Amino acid sequence: SPSLRAAARAAGPPPPLEPSPLPVFSEEGFGDKFLRKTRENPLVPLGCLCTVGVLTYGLISFKRGNTRRSQLMMRARILAQGFTFAALLGGMVVTAIKSRK
């Protein structure tokens, strides 16, 4: 049919037979990836450090017999974990929004 040929000509030349080469990325080591991710979302490592610090202080308080402070630190640990999780989710949302643009 003539209208199909005209539509095919309007679509442009056919795709090349050889696939275009894929871009080559340099191999990223653990340290490089960690630094890049920390720069992208610095709140996650900060939350992790706070969680570990509060947990350690709570365990030390528990070992020394200060049960009141130990309980307080375990509650603070839960808050720090919640902050870390919220920071992680927030970073994922920001990354998803950036990738859509």
Residues 18-66 have pLDDT tens digits of 776 776 667 888 888 888 888 888 999 999 999 999 999 999 999 999 9
Domain range for 87 is 39-100
Q: What is the pLDDT of residue 13?
A: 67
Rounded Cα distance between 75 and 67, Å, is 12
Establish if 23 belongs to a structural domain: no
Establish if 5 belongs to a structural domain: no
Establish if 31 belongs to a structural domain: no
Establish if 72 belongs to a structural domain: yes
| Full DSSP string of 14-74 | PPPSSPPPPPPPPPPPHHHHHHHHHHH-THHHHHHHHHHHHHHHHHHHHHHT-HHHHHHHH
Establish if 21 belongs to a structural domain: no
Q: Is 44:84 a contact under the CB 8 Å cutoff?
A: yes
Establish if 16 belongs to a structural domain: no
Q: What is the count of structural domains for the chain?
A: 1
Establish if 25 belongs to a structural domain: no
The closest of 32, 50, 33, 36 to 87, measured between CA atoms, is 50
Q: What is the pLDDT of residue 3?
A: 66
Establish if 82 belongs to a structural domain: yes
